[in-house]
Amino acid sequence: MDIDTTADFKARLQNMIVYQDILIKNNFLAQSSCDQEFSTLLIFHNDLRRKYADLRAQTDQLDQYIEHYRAESEHKDKKIQSQSSQILRLTQHNKRNNERLTELQRWFDRIKDSITEPSTYNKLYEILRNSHMFEGETTANLSDRYCTGDELDVDYSHMPKVVSQSAGIGEIKRLTDTNDIDLKLHKSPVNISAASDRNVNKNKPEPNQLRTSPIPVSSRKSLSIHQRPKQKIRKPSKEFLNTKSEELELNIDDQFWSKLIDDHHEQKSLSPINSALPKLISPTIEQKTLTPSTPASNLNSNSSPSNITKLHSRGHNFISRNILIPETCCCLKRIHFGKSAYRCQGCNALCHTGCKENCTTLCLPNVKTPNRGAVDIIKVAMAPKDPEWTPKFVSLSENCPEGRTYFDWNDKGIEEWKANAIKFQDTHVKDNNRTEWFTYKSEDRDALELRILMAICGFRTPQEGSKAAPSCPLRTFKRDERLHARKLKKVIIKHSNSSENIHLNIIYISTATKVEEDKQFYASEEPVFVINDHRKLIDKDGRTYANFQDYKENNKLPKAATLAPKNGTYTPAQTIDGRVPLELGETPATSLLKRAKDVVDTVVMVGGMVLAVTGVVTFFAPALFSATAMSVIQAGSFFLTTYGVVGAATSIHDKTQHDESIRTEVFVLISSALSTYSGILRTQAIKYAREGKTYAEVMEKIGKAQRAMFAVANVFTIVSSSGALISSIFDLMAKRERTWLDYYQFCMGLFMLVNVCTKPITIKGIFDSEQMQHLNEMKNSLESDDAKEEMSRMLAEHSTSDQKAYMIRNLNKIENPTEFFELIRKTRSTVTCTADGLTVNNMIDISPLSYNDIGKAVFIEKFNQISKSESAALHSSFMDEFDQYIPDENKENFESRLENIKTLPVEQQRETMRNLVNELTAGGGPPQEAFDASWNRAQTAYRDNLDQQVNEMIGHLQQGSTGPGQEDDFTQLGDLARRQMHGVATPEEQKELQQQLDKCTNHRKEYFFKSSAIHRDDANNPENNAALRVDIKTFTNAKNERLCYRINVEDVKQTLRNTFQVLNHEDIIVHDKRIFDNMKTGDYDRLNRVLTEYTTRGPNLLSAAIHLGNDPAFVGQVNTPHDIASITEALEKQRASLPRGQRQEFLNGIATGTGEHYDRFRNDFNGRINAINALPDDIKSQWSSTLSMAYHWWKHEDQFRTNQPLTIDEYFREYSNNIFKTENIIGTSHTQAGGIKQSYTRSFGARIHVGFTFGENRTKASHFPK
């Protein structure tokens, strides 16, 4: 055994060694594979690093090239500036030299007579003439020597380009007048003689002759000495790019320059010899206003000359400063916050530290010039003033828009505006010069921003005391204007095809608006930016449009007439006459739908403000508004919320299409959605609170998850509505031109925030708040102060949430709350509201619906029953009077034919009865006098019968009176009821009958409270129970309200305990069921009727019913106390059918559950139950229970016919269908527990057939004749 174990162990050890070797080999292979992959990855990584190093080297080299090119460009710029300064100095020097020579010439003329030798005179004159130097000579030599076109012909590919449809660029030419001379033609000495003057004049060009300017003009057409071929892209001047404000500076009055001339350089009057010398003039320097919006064709030689010889050049006075607000340097780059820079004290120019020495701008002081005012003023000034003016570049083929218009286009004001607008559009087209696009590169963003500012705000010049400088034209605009321009610039860049090359053009929409109650029209020019090849449009507020048609249909301009280029461009592709066609129109705001929406928006805006204030007031004073007002407020809140959702959704769709911010709308939509969700739960909670449900019942219907979501939704609603309000305020402050829509959004945000903040956050808070609000509304609706005080006392006693719910539940069902509280106060009663109804003086539990029926419902039901019994009373009186004339064999025929007579009109009944009696009488009937006497007696008996029934009804009700005055009211009620019964009551008496019924009902309700209030303290004194029973008998009587008091309930409980010898009646077991557990008021009332009616034999019958229910041989199912009552009454029916001598024996036998009588009854009852079970289900479902059906059939089968009992089909089909019809309903009342009870009555021969149903489904209880 040990050898085998050792061998096994050795074998396993060898296997483990083999496995370990295999594992080591696999591990080695895996390690080798990983090393190989890592080596490959490392090689790949090294290759990438080498490639990255090569690319980095190339990038550095490119950076060096760029830096070299930049340094070279700066050097050339500096050189050009230096040459310009040298020209300026030499020109000034030449002028001073010429002034000295002029002075020498004058003195020379004075002393020429004293020179006797001609050779001396000629020599002096030659010296004087050779010393004279022309300004143009020096300037031209300098220009030719140092400033060549090649130096200026550099690459400006990074500069903004102008894409134009105009022809190629040629050499600039200008018209010279008779005073202009070509400086290069006058390098020879000037002859002073008259002949010389004539020679000089011969060399002057003819007027209006086209000559080439000797001075190179800094413009787009003189950047190179070589003429360039025609091209579509041309470049703006470098001078414009360096000083973007030059177009503003060159518009300054020439008077400014004259102020800088030294006083000692003032010219003196010359002698006559001076007229012989050639007139010295300075070369004309062209004033240009070149911006990306100004075509090159506008640069002509007719520009007014600038007296550059009068300008004293001076250097900048730079002082180091730390920058707090980012500004632009003369190199067009931004100087950021906190950086050091230099600012000139003379002109406010700002530049980087490195740009200080290379600043190319002139130091020109700030000059206060007229600021640009309204756009209309400038435009009007630009417009031609010739009344016969006609447009040269635009055409208008219509006088008014097509279709229905908002404005009267024949109005004089419209006509004047239209004429001026055409002039403005003609000027715009002329300025545009058929330029399709202005191109801006990424480094030209400041130029683009400046262009936007000038288009929106107009031209600005530096103001005295401001930080603006010619080198910083953006600073001439206000901060909010620049912020708006930057925002608009971002939109333009976003929608451009390329952020590197931005194609832009501007068109202007001429508008005329009319303020209400103002007859004048106000004109304006609205700029619209056109970008990229798809020709998208962007208005001044940053709203984008897919095309010009989209702009015309969806722009946000106010109600105005418009004049605009027809296709949204100043460069149409093809036109017949080469002009830009214009079209008239009206803004979308003039449409009927938009105007109606504006009205609704205004109403909603005002409503939002009103409801916001109302919400705050309601929060602090919930009872201030009536129920109707609160309903209106809730309806208004629902309308505003719904309109806000629809408006936000519509606005989101519109703004998304036009790339506008939808921040506010999204907040409003979120707030509305959350508010709607919480509003649904809030509405449910409010509904349940007003219905009188407890908070536990509400939570069962709403659920815990929804309760938690309600609080979360309210919190998020507060956040989102706050965001909507803040966003709308931000939009209001950010917009330069506000509209009603902005104020509408502000009001909606404010309304939503107030609406959610002034309401409880949780369901519990909503529930409690609504409970108190509803109770306060009910109290305020009471009509008397006594009623209000009594309700306040009751409200103080019902302090908990559940008690308030019970109070609301019951008071909602009270028909006349004022009368209810007044009677409680008058009788000093105490009423407690419970889940099942009202507890009055701790004596009775009654439903408020049953309380409403006290008095009135009994009267109406009994009165209608008497009315239905008229036919039976008439039948009975006829039989009693005319039976004596009818033979026995014809009596049955007579009685059956009486049914037809009763249905006839009263005036036909007498004659028909006479014929019937004569027909059935052998001798031809009684004499006429005897018939008339019998007829009169029958009618009297009929009326007496009805009066007797009315008197009995009033007598039963009168037991609820508390004094003689009230008894008189009941007597008067009886008199009016009898007149109404006989059909002789007038309309006034019918109205009085209703008033008297209300008065008697009030008396009976007063007695209801009083009868229990006087016995409120008798609960612990059994001796007083008899008096209580007497006082409440009028209400417990089956002929009246049939109420069940607590004393009756205690009687039933005591009887059950005594009969079955138990301490608790609920412990009684019937067929393994506790059928007496949790009995309702109706169960106690049913048992109380049985026990009260059967007196001493009641306990034996009840004991027998319990034995029968527990008997296995009994086929019936005992489920409720009503079934026990039905068995008890069936036993009484069987007992009453026995001879008197056997009745006591029957009681004794059945009480033990044994014996012959018990077995016989059980078998008979089983037979009837089996017959009931054999009926169709549709019949059985109409009745309360099988045992009840069996009992009522057994009890009433002999009452319909005297000779033969009814079969089961006759009772449950034929007779049941005859009575349970809608036309047979005589009254609808309520049980003590609040269930519906309907009573039916129909005539049945000389008797009436009655029936009862219970519940909304009209479950049949019984029917029988009486």
Q: Is the pLDDT of residue 303 over 50?
A: no
Looking at residue 913, what is its pLDDT?
80
Of all residues in the chain, what percent carry a pLDDT higher than 70? 75
Average pLDDT of the residues in 49-60? 85
- Chain segment 1036-1062, per-residue pLDDT in tens: 888 888 899 988 898 899 888 888 888
Lowest mean pLDDT, pick from 168-177, 201-210, 349-358, 470-479? 168-177
- Does 869 have pLDDT greater than 50? yes
Do 1087 and 984 lie in one domain? The reply is no
Of residues 285 and 141, more confidence is placed in 141
Residue 461 has pLDDT above 60, yes or no: yes
Same domain, 1009 and 894: yes
For the chain, the domain total comes to 4
Is residue 1066 predicted with pLDDT exceeding 50?
A: yes
Give the residue-averaged pLDDT of 34-40: 79
Report the C-alpha dihedral over residues 537, 542, 545, 551, rounded to 10 degrees.
Answer: -80
Residue 509's pLDDT band, with cuts at 50, 70 and 90, is very high
**Strand ranges inside 268-323, DSSP E:** 318-322
Domain boundary among 1175, 1196, 1217: 1196
User: Bridge-partner residues for 565, per DSSP?
Assistant: 582
Q: What is the mean pLDDT of residues 1001-1030?
A: 82
Q: What is the mean pLDDT of residues 1217-1246?
A: 87
- Tell me whether residue 1252 is in a domain: yes
Give percent above pLDDT 90 in the chain: 9
Indicate if the pLDDT at residue 723 is higher than 80. no
pLDDT score, position 575: 65
Whether residues 647 and 727 fall in one domain: yes
Backbone angles phi, psi at 1160, to 5 degrees: -65, -45
175 vs 158: CA distance, rounded Å? 34
At 991 the pLDDT is: 92
pLDDT at residue 388 is higher than 50: yes
Q: Kindly indicate the confidence band of residue 308, based on its pLDDT and cuts at 50, 70 and 90.
A: very low
Instruction: Give the pLDDT mean for 163-186.
Output: 33
Same domain, yes or no: 1176 and 1205? no
Q: How confident is the model at residue 787 (pLDDT cuts 50, 70, 90)?
A: very high
Which residue, 773, 809, 779, is CA-closest to 794?
779
Q: Classify residue 1075: in a domain, yes or no.
A: yes
How far, CA to CA in Å, does 650 sit from each of 656, 662, 665, 912? 10, 11, 9, 80
The per-residue pLDDT for 852 is: 92
Q: Is residue 748 part of a domain?
A: yes
Cβ count within 10 A of residue 1222: 8
Residues 607 and 755 reside in one and the same domain: yes
- For the segment 7-12, the average pLDDT, to the nearest whole number, is 79
Torsion sign (Cα): 714, 717, 721, 726 = positive
Mean pLDDT (the chain, rounded): 75
Cα distance between residue 877 and residue 909, in whole Å: 13
pLDDT at position 1014 over 50: yes
- Give yes or no for a contact between 775 and 784, defined as CB atoms under 8 angstroms apart: no
Q: Do the strands 161-164 and 1259-1265 form a parallel or antiparallel pair, or are they unpaired?
A: unpaired
Q: Does 207 score more than 60 pLDDT?
A: no
The beta strand positions in 514-636, using DSSP E, are 522-531, 536-539, 544-545, 560-565, 580-586
What pLDDT score does 761 carry? 64
pLDDT for residue 382? 42
Q: Are residues 1213 and 1191 in the same domain?
A: no
Query: Is residue 776 predicted with pLDDT exceeding 80?
Result: yes
Residue-number span of the structural domain to which 1217 is assigned: 1198-1266
φ, ψ dihedrals at 66, nearest 5°: -65, -40
Q: Determine the residue type at 148.
A: T
Contacts with 361 (C-beta within 8 Å, 6 or more apart), sequence order:
242, 243, 330, 347, 349, 470, 471
Distance CA 348, CA 1258 (A): 99
Quote the pLDDT of residue 707: 67
Neighbours of 618 (CB within 10 A): 19
Which range of 234-248, 810-824, 934-948 scores highest in mean pLDDT? It is: 810-824
Where is pLDDT greater, at 1070 or 154?
Answer: 1070
Q: Of the candidates 1115, 1105, 1109, which has an alpha carbon nearest to the alpha carbon of residue 1151?
A: 1105
Residue 663 inside a domain? The answer is yes
Question: What is d(CA 607, CA 755) in angstroms, rounded to the nearest whole number?
Answer: 13
pLDDT at 27 over 70: yes
CA atoms within 13 A of residue 1162's CA, in its CB half-sphere: 22
Predicted pLDDT at 179: 36
- Non-local (6+) Cβ contacts of 870 within 8 A are 942, 946, 1243
274 pLDDT band, cuts 50/70/90, is very low
**pLDDT of 823 strictly over 90:** yes
| pLDDT at res. 1146 | 83
pLDDT tier at 464 (50, 70, 90 boundaries)? low
Instruction: Please state, in angstroms and rounded to a whole number, the distance separating the CA atoms of residues 1196 and 766.
Output: 56
Tokens of 1012: 């229990």
Tell me the torsion sign for CA atoms 162, 167, 169, 171.
negative
What does the pLDDT average to over 1164-1170?
89
Q: Among 358-372, 550-564, 702-716, 1119-1133, where is mean pLDDT lowest? A: 358-372
Same-domain status, 871 and 1006:
yes
- Whether 881 and 1002 map to the same domain: the answer is yes
> How do residues 854-867 score in pLDDT, each as one tens digit?
988 889 998 888 88
- Last residue within a domain, chosen from 1196, 1215, 1236: 1196
1257 inside domain: yes
Q: Where are the alpha helices (DSSP H) in 1014-1114?
A: 1025-1031, 1033-1036, 1046-1060, 1081-1094, 1098-1110
Q: How many other CB atoms sit within 10 Å of the CB of residue 601?
A: 20
Supply the pLDDT for residue 230: 37
Query: What confidence tens digit (pLDDT) does each residue in 575-604 have?
Result: 667 788 899 999 998 888 888 887 887 777
Q: Which neighbouring-strand residues pair with 384?
A: none
22 confidence band (pLDDT: 50, 70, 90): confident
Give pTM, 2 decimals: 0.55
- How many other C-beta atoms are found inside a 10 Å radius of the C-beta of residue 503? 20
User: 999 and 1110: one domain?
Assistant: no
Per residue in 614-666, pLDDT tens?
Answer: 766 666 665 556 656 666 766 777 777 777 777 778 888 888 888 877 777 77
Q: Could you tell me the two tokens for 505?
A: 């053009």
pLDDT at 791 over 90: yes
Beta bridge partner(s), residue 175: 210
Question: Is residue 990 included in any domain, yes or no?
Answer: yes
**Among the listed residues 235, 240, 163, 158, the one whose alpha carbon sits nearest the alpha carbon of residue 530:** 163
Which of 1013, 1033, 1062 terminates a domain? The answer is 1013
Region of poorest pLDDT, from 535-539, 786-790, 797-801, 895-899: 895-899
- Highest average pLDDT, of 218-222, 442-446, 810-814, 1067-1071, comes from 810-814
Report pLDDT for 851: 93
Q: Distance between CA 1074 and CA 1062 in Å, rounded?
A: 13
Is residue 1108, in this structure, part of any structural domain at all?
A: yes
Least confident of 181-195, 436-450, 873-887: 181-195
Count CB atoms within 10 A of the CB of residue 1021: 10
**Same domain, yes or no: 1160 and 1232:** no
Provide mean pLDDT across the span 417-421: 90
**Which residue would you say has higher pLDDT here, 659 or 223?**
659
pLDDT, mean of residues 393-398: 83
Residues 1148 and 1218 in one domain: no
Give the pLDDT band (50/70/90) at residue 384: very low
* pLDDT (average), residues 107-112: 72
Q: Which is more confident, 417 or 1247?
A: 417
More confident residue, 218 or 524: 524
Listed in sequence order, the residues at least 6 apart from 1179 whose beta carbon sits closer than 8 Å to its beta carbon are 1212, 1213
Residue 631: the pLDDT is 66
Contact 221/171 with Cβ under 8 angstroms? Answer: yes
Q: Which of 1079, 1059, 1078, 1077 is closest to 1069 using CA atoms?
A: 1077
pLDDT at 467: 56
Q: What confidence category does residue 268 fall into, taking pLDDT thresholds of 50, 70 and 90?
A: very low
Q: Is the pLDDT of residue 572 over 50?
A: yes
Confidence of residue 142 (pLDDT cuts 50, 70, 90): very low
Residue 1263 falls inside a structural domain: yes
Model confidence at 1019, pLDDT cuts 50, 70, 90, reads: low
Claim to verify: residue 1057 and residue 1171 sit in the same structural domain = yes
Residue 1018 has what pLDDT? 65
